[in-house]
Amino acid sequence: MKISILLMGSLPFLGRVAAWGALGHQAVGYTAMEFLAPKALKFVQSTLSASDNHSLGPAATWADTVRSEAAFAFTAPFHFIDAEDDPEGGSCSVDETRDCGAAGCILTAIANYTIRVADTSLSATQRQEALKFIDHFLGDIGQPLHVEAFEVGGNDISAICGGSKTNLHAAWDTGMITTNLAANFGGSSQAWAASLVQEIQTGKFQSDAADWISCSSTTEPLSRRSALSQIINPGRSMKDEIMETIASRATGKITPLACPLVWAKESNAFDCTDVFDFKTGQDLCKGTYFTNALPIIELQIAKQGFRLAAWLNVIFDGATNLP
């Protein structure tokens, strides 16, 4: 974060440049659209504008386009959480108290905009913004380098993608996704999302999807999972949490929710396994690195799209409405 603070005044883009690039965010949004319950779908379609095709797909990138505007500069820290762990030493962790700065982080942002999207006393514009922030931040939290402080979330690590110079963060946000979509989906995030939706409904993700919205960590071995979820989330569901958060509006206190913390830990765990596991000069967008990383990216995008739908379904329909 040192760098972004130094340059924040004049050159905001040189700090934390990106987020899942546009294609990744759109895929999260398009995936979610297929799992929305009736009231959530109605709210989404009537709230988002025609320029976004009334869809969470195109609307998912708005938060990145405004963060360079002075009026939205305060939202820059909301796109990530700087986990001060040690991925190179094999120690990954996310600690809300340690890692979520005074200016806020993705955990407080999700809580805040969850309260605001449900708040009928706010203006239509404010609720639309809240929806577009949720649409975006539920994507970002699935990107392992948005949950990592090391080398400014990989922004300061040089990398190569498809023969071109880039940095590790950008290779995850954009490079590998663009490579995959060009090769397999005609460059279309919508076509990619359609394939991820099919994997959730009837394919390789079908058996795990229920776990994704249970707020227990799917990176933990099954034998440990229930014990762990008892500690993180004893007997509470995504619904309990969201309802409680929305009700807490009266106190004006923004308390991060347990589910996004579980998701953050899940993403962060990849920083200790695959993300930093390459040699200088190795091309990340081909060969073994790409072959290992792409399934992680697809999993994280599919998961976050499904979770985004579940989240909005709880807020507007009172339950996840998903199997």
Ligand X SMILES: *[C@@H]1O[C@H](CO)[C@@H](O)[C@H](O)[C@H]1NC(C)=O
Q: Residues with catalytic annotation?
A: 20, 25, 64, 67, 79, 136, 140, 146, 169, 173
The smaller minimum CB distance to ligand X, of residues 115 and 215, is found at 115
C-beta of 19 vs 152, nearer to Zn ion:
19
Tokens of 134: 């949720």
Single out the residue of 108, 143, 167, 304 in contact with ligand X (rule: CB under 6 A). Answer: 108
Interface pick for Zn ion out of 4, 16, 19, 60 (rule CB under 5 A): 19
Nearer to Zn ion, 19 or 176 (CB): 19
Q: Which of residues 66-85 bind Zn ion (CB under 5 A)?
A: 79
Whether 279 and 172 have beta carbons less than 8 Å apart is answered as: no
Total site size for ligand X, rule CB under 6 A: 9
Contact segment (CB under 6 A) with ligand X among 107-115, 138-146, 154-162, 236-244 equals 107-115
Candidate segments 51-59, 200-208, 294-302, 312-320, binder of ligand X by CB under 6 A:
51-59
Least gap, CB of 109 to Zn ion (angstroms) = 10
Q: Which does 315 bind (CB under 5 to 8 A by kind): Zn ion, ligand X, none?
A: none
Residue 268 to residue 106: CA distance in whole angstroms: 13
138-146, 228-236, 266-274, 314-322 -> range binding Zn ion (CB under 5 A): 138-146
6, two tokens: 């130094």
**Is residue 112 close enough to count as binding ligand X by CB under 6 A?**
yes
**In 3D, which of 186, 170, 135 has the Cα closest to residue 32?**
135
What does the block give as tokens for 229?
């979820």
How far, in Å, CA of 274 to CA of 166, rounded?
Answer: 18
Residue 217's binding partner among ligand X, Zn ion, none (Cβ under 5 to 8 angstroms by kind) is none
Give the 3-state DSSP-derived string for 132-149, with helices as H, strands as E and coil as C: HHHHHHHHHCCCHHHCCC
Among 53, 65, 91, 288, binds ligand X (CB under 6 A): 53
Q: Which is nearer to ligand X, 242 or 293 (CB)?
A: 242
3-state secondary structure 43-88: HHHHHCCHHHCCCHHHHCCHHHHHCCCHHHHHHHHHHCCCCCCEHH
Phi, psi at 229, each rounded to 5°: -70, -25
Question: Could you tell me which of 192, 171, 144 has the C-alpha nearest to residue 27?
Answer: 192
169 binds Zn ion (CB under 5 A): no
Question: For residues 153 and 82, is the Cβ–Cβ distance under 8 A?
Answer: yes
Between 87 and 104, name the residue whose CB sits nearer to ligand X. 104
Q: Say what angle helices 22-33 and 176-184 make with each other, to 10 degrees.
A: 60
Contact string (CB under 6 A) for ligand X, positions 67-106, x = contact: -------------------------------------x--
Contact 75, 109 (CB under 8 A): yes
Would you say 262 and 216 are in contact if contact means Cβ atoms under 8 Å apart? yes
Instruction: Provide the minimum distance between the beta carbon of 141 and Zn ion in the complex, in angstroms, as a whole number.
Output: 9
Which of 285, 94, 99, 88 has its CA nearest to residue 177?
285
Q: Does 129 bind Zn ion (CB under 5 A)?
A: no
Q: Strands 164-167 and 158-161, how do they pair?
A: antiparallel
- Looking at the Cβ atoms of 52 and 271, the one nearer to ligand X is 52
- Within residues 217-276, the interface with ligand X by CB under 6 A covers 254
Beta-bridge partner residues of 167: 158
Residues 323 and 44 sit within 8 Å (Cβ to Cβ): no
In the list 58, 153, 154, 256, the residue contacting ligand X (rule: CB under 6 A) is 58
Under the rule (CB under 5 A), what is the footprint of Zn ion?
A: 19, 79, 140
Under the rule (CB under 6 A), what is the footprint of ligand X?
A: 52-53, 58, 104, 108-109, 112, 116, 254
